[in-house]
């Protein structure tokens, strides 16, 4: 029996590690997911168990090579993670967690030494979330380890290296909240040369490039990998001609505008806006808002205050007239950049029911979300908003958002494979039309 041809994509998230096989027409043929327990780094802070993940990938590849005629392999993975490669070509583990807390002293030193870095790199100060700072920290606090480093590879490019032996850097990973790229000059930041770090970054290449694999993937074309948020944007960019915003929702709501030509200004940077980057090296204006985290924290406050079930909000519908009459949570000075949404004990006393309190919290959070979208839209004449992720199931969020953008086409989708599909499309370029995207994603106009 003839085996079906397929494109294998590993989508490596922080918690869940997934594998998908797409047909050459991008129909899903196979999927599998595991959760990998973290392990402590040398300071006891939990980090990704990269060795376990690699063993799982190799074991699964052996099965897939028997079941399918694998034509291409590619990777999407979370950003802000460098894998350090020593002079023998081996990874220097552990892989540091981008949430790892660091001394404010060394972070202050970094930003005081390179004063214009946040704006020129479109990377707001964010600790280890800015992967370039990880390398500076390594040099200053782990000198012995730093001297062992031959290459620093972002996680998607490490997977490419592991299966090909080829070390490259890629634009999406280099340009997304890293402090590595100068968006004004469209080149690397000068501080990398001044600190003796630029030599650790392999040559840049575009995401469409492939190399022949080695070992298990002998003679199979292997992609260079993509940052997952950038990969998730690619199917939309390829299929949709009308100017749009993609609002990807979850713990962090990320709004992406691939049509903006504007560089960030200081006010936007201070509000947590940043640039992502396309595989061709072009900036993508973006904003991040901790909407999912805020929602979880504030719902917990409502549950505690009213002694109601923790999932009380899931059955609530959007009643526009009632919503409009509710007073939002006032005087809290929250913004796009806020990550702590603690409430004073008295804040909920003026509300008579969980529903009223929930409307108040959503009215408050949605106003911040609208501010975040306004920063990203800028002067672009947007015609559509695409909404995916967890909040596309939230009736209050979806209905109010579409009402606020009544002059635009607003679509939602619960398709969860966007990053993997983007990685597949990158290594297997083909026509991908709007109707095809809407069908595969199960788009619903709101």
| Rounded CA separation 50/53 (Å) | 5
Strand ranges (E), 200-271: 204-205, 210-212, 221-223, 226-227, 244-249, 253-257
Residues 6 or more apart whose CB falls under 8 angstroms from that of 221 comprise: 71, 72, 73, 210, 211, 212, 213, 427
Checking phi first, is residue 389 left (phi over 0); if not, alpha (psi -120 to 50) or beta?
Answer: left
Burial per residue of 264-276, b for 16 or more beta-carbon CB atoms within 10 angstroms, e otherwise: beeebbebbbbbb
Helix (H, G, I), strand (E, B) or coil at 407: coil
Neighbours of 35 (CB within 10 A): 8
What one-character DSSP code corresponds to residue 198? G
Pick the CATH number of 227-446 from 3.20.20.70, 3.30.420.40, 2.60.60.20, 3.40.50.12780: 3.30.420.40
Phi-psi region of 334 (alpha: psi -120 to 50; beta: other; left: phi over 0): beta
Q: Give phi and psi for 347, each to the nearest 5.
A: -65, -30
Tokens of 38: 């973290």
Which pLDDT value is given to residue 402?
95
Strand 46-47 versus strand 283-289 pairing type: unpaired
pLDDT, tens digit, 9 for 90 and up, residues 22-41: 999 999 999 999 999 999 99
Helix (H) or strand (E) holding 14: none
Give the Cα separation of 11 and 78 in Å (integer).
9
Per the CB < 8 A criterion, the answer to whether 92 and 84 are in contact is: yes
- The length of the chain is 446
Common-topology check for domains 5-224 and 227-446: yes
DSSP 310-364: TTGGGG----HHHHHHSPP--S----TT-------TTTTTT--SHHHHHHHHHHH
What predicted TM-score, i.e. pTM, was given to this entire model? 0.88
Helix (H, G, I), strand (E, B) or coil at 373: helix
Q: What pLDDT is recorded for position 239?
A: 94
**Residue 171 CB burial class (10 angstroms; 0-12, 13-18, ≥19):** buried
> What was the pLDDT predicted at 229?
86
Residue pLDDT, tens place only, 66-100: 999 999 999 999 888 999 999 999 999 999 998 89
Two tokens, residue 359: 């409307």
pLDDT in tens, 48-70: 999 999 999 999 999 999 999 99
pLDDT at 136 over 90: yes
Count of Cβ atoms closer than 10 Å to residue 236 Cβ: 22
What's residue 105's pLDDT?
96
Reference 169, options 194, 141, 192; nearest CA is: 192
At 335, list the tokens.
């913004």
Largest CA distance in the chain: 69
DSSP per position, 189-203: -HHHHHTT-GGGSPP
Domain ranges of the chain: 5-224, 227-446
Cα dihedral 305/306/307/312 (nearest 10): -120
Question: According to the model, what pLDDT value does residue 331 have?
Answer: 81
Asked if 318 contacts 362 with a C-beta cutoff of 8 angstroms, the reply is no
In the chain, pLDDT over 90 holds for what percent of residues?
82
Greater confidence (269 vs 222) lies with 222
Which of the four pLDDT bands, split at 50, 70 and 90, describes residue 264?
confident
Distance, first Cα to last Cα, the chain: 45
| pLDDT at residue 1 tops 80 | no
pLDDT tens per residue, range 175-230: 988 999 999 999 999 999 999 999 999 999 999 999 999 999 999 999 999 998 89
pLDDT-derived band at 255, boundaries 50, 70, 90: very high
- Distance from C-alpha of 118 to C-alpha of 290, rounded to nearest angstrom: 20
Rounded CA-CA distance 110/1 in Å is: 60
Rg (CA), the chain: 22
The architecture in CATH of the region 5-224 reads 2-Layer Sandwich (3.30)
């Amino acid at each position: 029996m003839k085996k079906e041809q397929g494109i294998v994509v590993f989508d490596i998230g922080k918690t869940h590690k997934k594998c998908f096989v797409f047909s050459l027409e991008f129909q899903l043929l196979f999927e599998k997911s595991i959760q990998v327990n973290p392990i402590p780094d040398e300071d006891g802070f939990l980090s990704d168990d990269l060795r376990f993940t690699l063993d799982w990938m190799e074991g699964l590849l052996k099965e897939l090579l028997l079941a399918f005629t694998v034509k291409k392999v590619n990777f999407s993975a979370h950003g802000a993670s460098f894998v350090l490669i020593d002079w023998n070509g081996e990874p220097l583990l552990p892989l540091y967690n981008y949430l790892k807390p660091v001394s404010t002293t060394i972070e202050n030193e970094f930003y005081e030494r390179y004063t214009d870095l946040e704006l020129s790199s479109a990377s707001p100060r964010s600790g280890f979330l800015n992967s370039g700072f990880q390398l500076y920290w390594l040099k200053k606090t782990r000198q012995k380890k730093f001297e062992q480093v031959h290459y620093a590879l972002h996680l998607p490019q490490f997977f490419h290296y592991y299966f090909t032996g080829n070390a490259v850097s890629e634009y999406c990973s280099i340009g997304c909240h890293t402090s590595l790229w100068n968006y004004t000059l469209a080149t690397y930041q000068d501080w990398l040369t001044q600190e003796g770090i630029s030599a650790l970054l392999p040559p840049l290449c575009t995401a469409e490039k492939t190399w022949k694999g080695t070992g298990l993937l002998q003679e199979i074309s292997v992609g260079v990998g993509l940052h997952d948020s950038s990969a998730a944007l690619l199917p939309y960019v390829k299929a949709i001609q009308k100017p749009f915003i993609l609002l990807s929702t979850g713990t962090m709501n990320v709004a992406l505008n691939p049509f903006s030509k504007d560089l960030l200004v200081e006010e936007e940077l201070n509000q947590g806006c940043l640039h992502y980057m396309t595989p061709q090296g072009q900036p993508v204006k973006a904003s991040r808002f901790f909407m999912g985290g805020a929602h979880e924290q504030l719902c917990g406050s409502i549950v505690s205050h009213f002694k109601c079930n923790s999932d009380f909000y899931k059955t609530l519908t959007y009643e526009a007239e009632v919503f409009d009459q509710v007073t939002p949570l006032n005087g809290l000075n929250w913004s796009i950049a806020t990550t702590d949404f603690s409430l004073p004990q008295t804040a909920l006393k003026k509300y008579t029911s969980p529903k009223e309190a929930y409307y108040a919290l959503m009215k408050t959070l949605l106003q911040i979300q609208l501010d975040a979208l306004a920063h990203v839209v800028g002067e672009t004449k947007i015609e559509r908003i695409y909404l995916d992720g967890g909040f596309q199931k939230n009736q209050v969020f979806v209905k109010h958002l579409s009402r606020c953008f009544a002059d635009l086409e607003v679509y939602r989708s619960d398709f969860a494979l966007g990053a993997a599909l983007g990685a597949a499309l990158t290594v297997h370029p083909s026509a991908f039309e709007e109707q095809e995207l809407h069908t595969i994603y199960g788009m619903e106009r709101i």
